Structure 1
Amino acid sequence: MDPITHGVIGLAISTFSGTTPSLDNPVAIGAAIGAMIPDSDVVIRLFSDEMTYLKHHRGWSHSLPALTIFSGLITLGLSVMMPGSLSFEVFFWTLMGALSHTIFDILNSYGAMLFKKKRKLNLLTLYDPFITLLAIYLIFSGEKSLLQYAAVVLLFAVYLAMRWKMKQRAHHHVATAISRQYAFKRVTILPSLKAFYKWDFVADTKSHHIVGKYNLFTRKLQIIAKYYKKDSQHLGTFDQSNLGRYFRRFSPNIHLEVVEHDNHIELKAIDLRYYMKNSFLHHGTLYLDRNGEIVESYFHPYKQNKWIPVLEG
């Protein structure tokens, strides 16, 4: 989700305190800022490259210790700008806003680290209209009864359950269709980046990696890309390289292509999760000499013509 949507959700959460969202309400302001502050790890890009940023993004800054520290600092900052506002109530709702950021990142396909490891449930799209409507209702509906708050929580829970069911149905239909033609191993189902009723998938078969889209309403399956899994003695070298270790930690869905040239061997890694503008989002290249020894490697974030050297050896 983008920071503004996170902020709107944080503002909506502040209404559970019984206060009205306004510019002079430290509870509302704290919750909104708290819901946006975890993405402050974007400053990493100012002092480093995209590889370092992607390695740490949605990491420590989204963890419970960091959220607690951020919430404390925000509460202290608000107490300076709004004398008399320093209270546990402001801190608590600021922390709730910050927690909402990490929780919603875990619910989508990017994931986040609340404790020690990054988790993701692949349920929500990056922008979810239903969640946004619930948030807008909470912000602009004025004073609400306990029953209204309970109804919103229930609707949210039912919606998550529905999304889980949709994901399971998509998994069943995709697995069934792929297994008719290939020796099926597993499939990863991801929420579409564009529409809530569509799902992306990465299927792993004995012979191929298959990437596609599935429309739950029309039950139409579209193949976007299909890669043959070529056996090679050099694939293990990729896993042992720094680029390979980064990629394996970065993505669970990788395809490796081996291209042999006269004087060197090229291993191309593709992160199969995100397909945008007729290309996958992240790539990597590892060069070996004819003896299979690592020469150099590069990470290509967002664009294939962006080359970030990876230190090997």
Structure 2
Amino acid sequence: MDTGTHVVMGIALGGLATLDPVVATNHAVASSVLIGTIAGSQIPDIDTLLKLRNNAIYIRNHRGITHSIPAVILWPLVLSAIIFPFFPGANLFHLWAWTFLAVFIHVFVDIFNAYGTQALRPFSNKWVALGVINTFDPFIFGIHILGIFIWMAGANPGYTFLVMYAIIIAYYFKRFSLKRSVHLKVKAMIPDATEIIIAPTMRFHQWRIAAMNEKQFFVGKAVKNQVEILDRFNRVPVPSTPVIEAAKTDKNLSAFLSFSPVYRWELDEYDDFYEVRFIDLRYRSNGHYPFVAVVQLDCDLKRISSYTGWVFSEQKLRKKLSIIPS
């Protein structure tokens, strides 16, 4: 989920914690737990700082080790050790328990996004992505804000957020049902599909679709259970040519390939350099595919420049690469 949603989730868990008698009857415990749940709801995303280095490192590592099983165990211990000394009258076990729940829920809800997490590390490096909830879901964010306002108005926070979470659980089941319906429609349209990826959007009834069979890629959308195929591309295997192999050694392209499950490729040859481009097919927006990896090589196959990330126009991509071919 996005940072804002994780913040309001942390506040909501702090309110829910008042159902714990130890928290409800001790101001120091309640204050420390609220800080712990807010911090615990944020700490796994500390790897966002990797963006300050470059996109390749960020793409390879975001929601990786910081969302792993050891991290879920470690983060609450670290946070509790930091917070507890400021609240001498607090109960360390209850502070740890609620902070642990906040960290766990952060990682758990991220599994439901299309991006996913490596939550099974160190047992598996596989990305777990159920793709039923958008990174920012207006309903989930909105109902948390509503719950916080109801709490501020004087309602019991424990019962307020207990009801809220019951509604959210029902909402998740509904999202699974909607996705399954879209999947069945796509399968009916492409019966020989070998893979179907359905990703949520911020709109409740709208989904992105990327599918493939042995010969083609299909990109489409579903709106109110009506599926439309927007683009088709022939599947052309990536060749093992010297240019492609040289491009694959670039860190940006390597990061892209470690993350993207469905893509097409292009190779352009100019007077004095080659340009290799890989295009993720999952994120079509207004006829454009914004998530790409591009590598430019000179005639000796040495890297000139490269980029991976989100770009929404060719002009901006050229600016990122700092080269405009004639």
**TM interval, short-chain normalised:** 0.7 to 0.9
Residue 239 of structure 1 and its aligned partner are, at CA, apart by 7.3
Q: Which amino acid aligns with 1:36?
A: Q
Residue 90 of structure 1 and its aligned partner are, at CA, apart by 0.8
Residue 191 of structure 1 and its aligned partner are, at CA, apart by 0.6
* Cα deviation 1:243-295 (Å, max 9, x = unaligned): 565333211111112345577654321112223465323222356789xx954
Structure 2 Cα separation of the partners of residues 167 and 72 of structure 1: 37
* Cα deviation 1:181-237 (Å, max 9, x = unaligned): xx6433211112x312100011213443222221025x25251x4333335644798
On the 8 A contact 2:290/2:310 being kept in 1, the answer is yes
Residue 78 of structure 1 and its aligned partner are, at CA, apart by 2.0
Structure 1 Cα separation of the partners of residues 37 and 158 of structure 2: 21
Corresponding pairs, count: 297
On the 8 A contact 1:210/1:226 being kept in 2, the answer is yes
Partner of 1:31: 37
Partner of 1:5: 5
Answer 1 or 2: which has greater strand percent. Answer: 1
Residue 126 of structure 1 and its aligned partner are, at CA, apart by 1.7
Structure 1 Cα separation of the partners of residues 67 and 310 of structure 2: 22
Structure 1 Cα separation of the partners of residues 309 and 166 of structure 2: 40
Structure 2 Cα separation of the partners of residues 245 and 239 of structure 1: 11
Greater displacement, 99-108 / 225-234 = 225-234
TM-score, normalised with respect to structure 2: 0.77
Structure 2 Cα separation of the partners of residues 41 and 231 of structure 1: 34
Partner of 1:300: 308
Tell me the C-alpha RMSD between the 2 structures: 3.3
Of the candidates 43, 50, 66, which is equivalent to residue 55 of structure 2?
Answer: 50
* Cα deviation 1:159-180 (Å, max 9, x = unaligned): 222111111111122333345x
Of the candidates 44, 47, 71, which is equivalent to residue 66 of structure 1?
Answer: 71
Structure 1 Cα separation of the partners of residues 73 and 118 of structure 2: 14
Structure 1 Cα separation of the partners of residues 232 and 86 of structure 2: 57
Structure 1 Cα separation of the partners of residues 98 and 219 of structure 2: 41
Q: Which amino acid aligns with 1:143?
A: N
Q: Which amino acid aligns with 2:185?
A: H
Q: Which runs of 5+ in 2 are unaligned?
A: 312-316
* Cα deviation 1:26-81 (Å, max 9, x = unaligned): 112210111011111122233x2111111111111122322332222222222233
Q: Which amino acid aligns with 1:124?
A: I
Of the candidates 66, 71, 83, which is equivalent to residue 78 of structure 1?
Answer: 83
Partner of 2:116: 111
Alignment of 1:1-313 (within 5 A): 1-17=1-17, 18=19, 19=23, 25-46=31-52, 48-85=53-90, 87-116=92-121, 117=125, 118-136=127-145, 138-139=147-148, 140-141=150-151, 142-143=155-156, 149=162, 152-178=164-190, 184-192=193-201, 194-216=202-224, 219=226, 221=228, 223=230, 225-230=231-236, 233-234=239-240, 238=244, 241-243=248-250, 245-259=254-268, 266-276=275-285, 279-286=288-295, 295-296=302-303, 298-303=306-311, 304-305=317-318, 306-307=320-321
Structure 2 Cα separation of the partners of residues 195 and 146 of structure 1: 29
Structure 1 Cα separation of the partners of residues 297 and 257 of structure 2: 19
On the 8 A contact 1:109/1:124 being kept in 2, the answer is yes
Q: Which amino acid aligns with 1:270?
A: I
Q: 1:227 to 1:79 in 2, by over 3 A?
A: same
Secondary structure at 1:200 match in 2: strand
Q: 1:174 to 1:268 in 2, by over 3 A?
A: same
Q: 1:161 to 1:239 in 2, by over 3 A?
A: farther
Q: 1:242 to 1:86 in 2, by over 3 A?
A: farther
